[in-house]
Amino acid sequence: MTTTSAIDPQTLLARRRPEWSLERAFYTDPGIYAADIDRVWKRNWLYVGHVSRVRLPGQYFLADVAGESLIIIRGKDGAVNALYNVCRHRGSRICLEPSGTAKALVCPYHQWSYQADGTLTGARFMPEGFDRSKFGMHRARVEVAAGLIFVALSDDAPSFAPVARDLERFLAPNGMADRATICHTHTARVKANWKLVVENFRECYHCEGSHPEYLSAVSWGKKAKNQQEHDERVAAAEQGRERWKAQGLDVDGTAFSADTFHHCGRGPLKPGYQSWSLDGKPTAPLMGSQTERENWLVGFVMYPNFFLEGGCDYISTTRVLPISACESEIEINWHVHQDAVAGVDYDVERVTAVWKATAEQDLTLVQNNHAGVESERYEPGPYSTMEAPDIEHFLSWYARQLSAPAMAAGRGCKHGE
Ligand code: FES
Ligand SMILES: [Fe+2]
């Protein structure tokens, strides 16, 4: 994809004012959107889904990623593969159903057939000398950490190792790799640029005015009223950390720094809460290997599309997907213990209540934000002290991605490489 806009993103970036929102073109211009896809989405790690969707060999689901359709499929050898959904004969889509199980991937056009690792195994009436080994499906890079599947379309993607380490150490107690399943999925379209969605998810300046459900469970979403309240919060958090450490839980998070693109941490719900629920009462059986109901909330963010929050009895993941300069999609999945039975061990409404309400409120805010940004009277505005560090970290990272040299064409992984 090439950038066709007359607007030069580098000129706009050069005059970008730190800790202020971006100029309108960054949120609305199709050319800058194309540059975003090329330089941000095609060369960074992207979350696509949980391993419970591909537990068995041949199980697959489709993932739209940076304008591409990928087939995420488990091979006979147990590996998770990400294959471009493009036939090597004349280019047809191969998988048309959003998910399923396939013994072989058979193209609906002329029935070329492929194994789950992309190897071409069947192609009728091809001329003498046709070498099947040269026509395997193109593959994207795949990493699986704590049961979460990530893909990258480019060799230029940064090292995934630090992200994998943090996912494993923070999510191992929840059994996300081998003892969790999805209990509910919620997808929603929002008429807003993807950066406005991420900016919203990165700050809590708006929480007090918009998120009663979220704030019913956590105290740090709004500033302490006085020094005493502040001190009580700090003391409660410290006591929690000591308890959680004694239970073998990792409590030392990773902060965003100048050269990172993820962060994670474990913080407290309100005292006495046993779940991230509206009333603090449990919503589902404990996940994984845990034996104690505790009031912690784990949080994980990875630019540009992965947000995770959850407690001892469920984990929610939020995946952001750009659709166009002015439209995005989010997909939220809630994960519980795989043996838990809906309607018996948990009520899905209770599991999803806090984050579903919060996400819907956020999408309304973001849509209003985008509508205002489209006005000719919009101009960048300054961030508050509650927003500045987090949004600025994201926008600085974004600016670095956009300023980096364009990738050479065809840097994705070819079959067999
Ligand atoms: S396009 Fe797939 S077999 Fe012809
Ligand atoms: Fe929010």
Give this complex's ipTM. 0.98
Ligand nearest to the CA of 94: 1
Which helix (H) or strand (E) segment holds residue 105: the answer is: strand 105-106
Is residue 407 a contact partner of residue 43, using CB atoms and an 8 Å limit? yes
Is residue 22 a contact partner of residue 52, using CB atoms and an 8 Å limit? no
**Can you name the residues that pair with 85 across neighbouring β-strands?**
none
Q: Which atom of ligand 1 is nearest to the CA of 94?
A: 2
Domains of the chain: 1-44+162-417 (3.90.380.10), 46-145 (2.102.10.10)
Q: Which atom of ligand 1 is nearest to the CA of 111?
A: 3
The model's pLDDT over 221-246, given as tens digits with 9 standing for 90+, comes to 677 788 888 888 888 889 989 999 99
Query: Is the CB of 338 inside a 6 Å radius of any atom of ligand 1?
Result: no
Is residue 34 a contact partner of residue 1, using CB atoms and an 8 Å limit? yes
Is residue 401 a contact partner of residue 144, using CB atoms and an 8 Å limit? no
CA distance 46 to 14: 27
What is the per-residue DSSP string for 222-276? S--SSHHHHHHHHHHHHHHHHHHHHTT-----B---TT-SEEEEEEE-STT--SS
Pairing of strands 113-114, 120-122: antiparallel
- 320 C-alpha to ligand 2 centroid (Å): 14
DSSP, res 184: E
Query: Between 106 and 225, whose confidence is greater?
Result: 106
- 204 C-alpha to ligand 2 centroid (Å): 6
pLDDT at residue 414 greater than cutoff 50: no
- pLDDT of 413 reads 42
- 369 C-alpha to ligand 1 centroid (Å): 44
pLDDT band for 42, please (50, 70, 90 cuts): very high
- 55 C-alpha to ligand 1 centroid (Å): 28
Residue of 85, 90, 94, 113 best suited for mutating to test ligand 1, as the one with most atoms within 8 Å of CB: 90
Is residue 325 a contact partner of residue 333, using CB atoms and an 8 Å limit? no
Distances from the Cα of 154 to the Cα of 111, 151, 202, 363, angstroms: 29, 9, 26, 30
- pLDDT of 133 reads 97
**Can you name the residues that pair with 335 across neighbouring β-strands?**
182, 315
Is residue 173 a contact partner of residue 341, using CB atoms and an 8 Å limit? no
CA distance 417 to 415: 6
